[in-house]
Amino acid sequence: MRLGSNEKFLVTGGAGYVGAHTVHCLIAHGVSPQNIIVFDNLVHGHKEFLPDGVVFYQGDLLCKEDIRRVFLSHPIDAVFHFAAYAFVGESMACPGKYFENNLLGGIHLLEAMVQSGCRRIVFSSSCAVYGVPGDVAISEEIHPAPVSPYGESKLMFERILAWYHRIHKVSSISLRYFNAAGAGYGIGERHTPETHLIPLLMQAALGQREAFSIHGTDYNTRDGTCVRDFIHVGDLAAAHLNACAYLSDKQVCEIINLGSGEGQSVLQVIHLIQALTGSRIAARMAERRPGDAPVLIAGNQKAAHMIGWKPRRSLGDILESAWIWHTQEAGCHA
């Protein structure tokens, strides 16, 4: 599956972690930087993640005019929609902030697309739509039951996409990512605040954090800690290209999981990082967090069948690339 060489792509949230990776991946697959338009308000994005030559708009999806202007200035063929707030914990404290940004911002984008005749979108959804499912590999058929406003906002936007497909013939693929991790193209996880497992552990290994809290050690899992499915951000980026190419000649509204199909417990990841870095991580047992599922592992057959995607990098690749990036970020050398 290939993207057209003269097509123009809009990447909302393209200065963020996964979005910027996808921008680099597009260029690595032959798309000219001048055919990539990145739209980001830089609330959580980093302009320095972007390669030279891409067209950058600093704008906010909550401002209709900002996004309309982009479509008036460029004939966009397809959209990669990453822009969103993505902290589960924050969404539990500030639900309105999440519903406003992740839904209203997305609706402004869809309206601008429809007005300009652009009818192809790949959307960053999340395994957070599943809530707390059983400990089986989760297929897309499982009934979604989010347990946070963040997960709910992703599910609601998937449903909005279904209506835009029905009424306006907008074709979409919602990609439900599991745990994105790892680094490449000089881009790694730099979140403020940091809440993700692997960057927290890397910071602990570098001595930037005194201790790491394990939330829940009495789950019904192999060692009592939560089990997660980690997927390399470069593999995620590649899946976006496949999904977009798939949409080029199809009128569909689809949902696809993106995960490795394997689970690792928090304790296993700690041990692997200790072995990789040679650092001892002081782990502290802490209370369970409300809404944390014991096990989240992707069923990833649909991605293979529909868009010809399989993860290529292992957890070892994820941790090595993240370690290199974090040591560089910390200004020291491993």
Ligand X SMILES: NC(=O)c1ccc[n+]([C@@H]2O[C@H](COP(=O)([O-])OP(=O)(O)OC[C@H]3O[C@@H](n4cnc5c(N)ncnc54)[C@H](O)[C@@H]3O)[C@@H](O)[C@H]2O)c1
Active-site pick, 57, 150, 177, 185: 150
Site string for ligand X, 8-47 (x = CB under 6 A): -----x-xxxxx--------------------xxxxxx--
What is the rounded CA–CA span in Å between residue 156 and residue 198?
A: 28
- Two structure tokens written together for 94: 């500030």
CB 64 → ligand X: shortest distance, Å? 12
177 is catalytic: no
What is the rounded CA–CA span in Å between residue 91 and residue 290?
A: 13
Q: Report DSSP letters for 151-169, one per residue.
A: HHHHHHHHHHHHHHHHHH-
Site string for ligand X, 74-113 (x = CB under 6 A): --------xxx-x--------------x---x--------
Residue closer to ligand X by CB (options 21, 120) is 21
What is the rounded CA–CA span in Å between residue 108 and residue 11?
A: 15
In the region spanning residues 110 to 139, those forming contacts with ligand X, defined by CB under 6 A, are 124, 126
* 188 touches ligand X (CB under 6 A): no
Using an 8 Å Cβ cutoff, are 218 and 287 in contact?
Answer: no
Of 327, 330, 315, nearest to 180 (Cα)?
A: 315
Residue closer to ligand X by CB (options 197, 245) is 197
Residue closer to ligand X by CB (options 89, 224) is 89
Residue closer to ligand X by CB (options 179, 265) is 179
Of 295, 302, 291, 292, nearest to 258 (Cα)?
A: 302
Q: Give me the phi and psi of 119, to 5 degrees please.
A: -130, 30
* 71 touches ligand X (CB under 6 A): no
In the region spanning residues 259 to 318, those forming contacts with ligand X, defined by CB under 6 A, are none
Look at residue 281 and give its three-state secondary structure: coil
Residues lying near ligand X in the complex (CB under 6 A): 13, 15-19, 40-45, 60-62, 82-84, 86, 101, 105, 124, 126, 177, 179-180
